[in-house]
Amino acid sequence: MKSTTQSTLFLFFVFFTVLAFPGFSQQKQLGEFEGNTDVGRVLKPGASTYNPKTQQYEVSGSGYNIWFDRDEFHYLWKRMTGDFILYTRAKFVGEGVDPHRKVGWMVRANLDENSPHVNAVVHGDGLTALQYREAKGDSTKEIRSDLTGADVIQLERKGNTYTMRVAEFGQPFVTEEVRNINLGDAVYVGLFVGSHNKDVLERGIFQDVRITVPAPDDLVPYRQYLGSNLEILDVSTGDREIIYTSPKSLQAPNWTPDGKTLIYNSDGLIYTFDLATRQPKQLNTGKVTNNNNDHVLSFDGKMLGLSSGVEELGGSIIYTVPVTGGTPKQITPRGPSYLHGWSPDGRTLTYTAERNGEWDIYTIPSKGGKEKQMTTAKGLDDGSEYTPDGKYIYFNSNRNGPMQIWRMKADGSEQEAVTNGEFHDWFPHISPDGKSIVFLSFLKEEVEPGDHPFYKHVYIRMMPVSGGEPKVIAYVYGGQGSINTPSWSPDSKKVAFISNSDLIKAPAK
Q: Provide Rg for the chain, Cα atoms.
A: 26
Does residue 183 sit in the same domain as residue 330? no
Does residue 265 sit in the same domain as residue 192? no
Q: Cβ atoms within 10 A of the Cβ of 234, count?
A: 15
Does residue 281 sit in the same domain as residue 205? no
Q: In 96-201, at which residue ranges do the beta strands (DSSP E only) sit?
A: 102-108, 117-123, 128-133, 141-144, 152-158, 161-167, 174-178, 187-194
Q: Are 151 and 90 within 8 A, CB to CB?
A: yes
Backbone φ and ψ of 387, nearest 5°: -75, 155
Helices of type H across 250-402: none
CA of residue 447 relative to chain centroid, distance: 17
Low-confidence residues of the chain: pLDDT under 50: 1-26, 508-509
Give burial (CB, 10 Å; 0-12/13-18/19+) of 243.
middle
Q: Name every residue whose Cβ is closer than 8 Å to that of residue 62 and which is 6 or more positions away in sequence.
A: 38, 42, 43, 44, 45, 46, 72, 73, 74, 194, 195, 197, 198, 199, 200, 201, 202
Q: Can you tell me the distance from the alpha carbon of 295 to that of 484, in angstroms, rounded to the nearest whole number?
A: 9
Does residue 355 sit in the same domain as residue 485? yes
Q: Name every residue whose Cβ is closer than 8 Å to that of residue 457 and which is 6 or more positions away in sequence.
A: 165, 173, 443, 446, 475, 476, 477
Q: Can you tell me the distance from the alpha carbon of 108 to that of 190, in angstroms, rounded to the nearest whole number?
A: 9
In a domain, 14, yes or no: no
Q: Name every residue whose Cβ is closer than 8 Å to that of residue 97 and which is 6 or more positions away in sequence.
A: 195, 197, 200, 202
**If DSSP codes are grouped into helix, strand and coil, which group holds residue 418?**
coil
Q: Name every residue whose Cβ is closer than 8 Å to that of residue 277 and which is 6 or more positions away in sequence.
A: none
Write the CATH number for 63: 2.60.120.200
Does residue 329 sit in the same domain as residue 429? yes
Does residue 143 sit in the same domain as residue 236? no
pLDDT of residue 1: 40
From 183, 212, 241, give the residue that closes a domain. Answer: 212
Does residue 94 sit in the same domain as residue 160? yes
Is the backbone of residue 397 left (phi > 0), alpha (psi -120 to 50) or beta? beta
Does residue 167 sit in the same domain as residue 110? yes
Write the CATH number for 276: 2.120.10.30
Residue type, 459: Y
Q: Can you tell me the distance from the alpha carbon of 78 to that of 281, in angstroms, rounded to the nearest whole number?
A: 33
pLDDT of residue 27: 56
In a domain, 19, yes or no: no
Q: Can you tell me the distance from the alpha carbon of 10 to that of 22, in angstroms, rounded to the nearest whole number?
A: 19
Does residue 204 sit in the same domain as residue 311? no
Q: Can you tell me the distance from the alpha carbon of 378 to that of 380, in angstroms, rounded to the nearest whole number?
A: 7
- The full DSSP string for 3-39 is -HHHHHHHHHHHHHHHHHSTTGGG---BTTBSEEEEE
Q: In 179-284, at which residue ranges do the beta strands (DSSP E only) sit?
A: 187-194, 202-212, 227-234, 240-246, 251-255, 261-266, 269-274, 279-283
Note the pTM of the prediction, 2 decimals: 0.93
Q: Can you tell me the distance from the alpha carbon of 459 to that of 305, in angstroms, rounded to the nearest whole number?
A: 27
Q: Name every residue whose Cβ is closer than 8 Å to that of residue 154 and which is 6 or more positions away in sequence.
A: 85, 86, 87, 88, 105, 120, 164, 165, 166, 173, 475
From 185, 212, 239, give the residue that closes a domain. Answer: 212
Does residue 260 sit in the same domain as residue 156? no
pLDDT of residue 28: 63
In a domain, 4, yes or no: no
Q: Can you tell me the distance from the alpha carbon of 313 to that of 286, in angstroms, rounded to the nearest whole number?
A: 18
Query: How many domains does the structure of the chain reveal?
Result: 2
Q: Are 198 and 503 within 8 A, CB to CB?
A: no
pLDDT of residue 127: 98
In a domain, 509, yes or no: no
For residue 208, give the nearest of 267, 152, 158 by alpha carbon.
152
Condensed to tens digits (0 to 9), the pLDDT of residues 333-349 reads: 999 999 999 999 999 99
Range of the domain at 430: 227-501
CA of residue 419 relative to chain centroid, distance: 22
From 212, 244, 264, give the residue that closes a domain. Answer: 212
pLDDT of residue 297: 98
Does residue 356 sit in the same domain as residue 256? yes
Does residue 101 sit in the same domain as residue 192? yes
In a domain, 295, yes or no: yes
Q: Are 113 and 220 within 8 A, CB to CB?
A: no
In a domain, 29, yes or no: yes
3-state secondary structure 301-337: CCEEEEEEEEHHHCEEEEEEEECCCCCCEECCCCCCE
In a domain, 221, yes or no: no
In a domain, 345, yes or no: yes
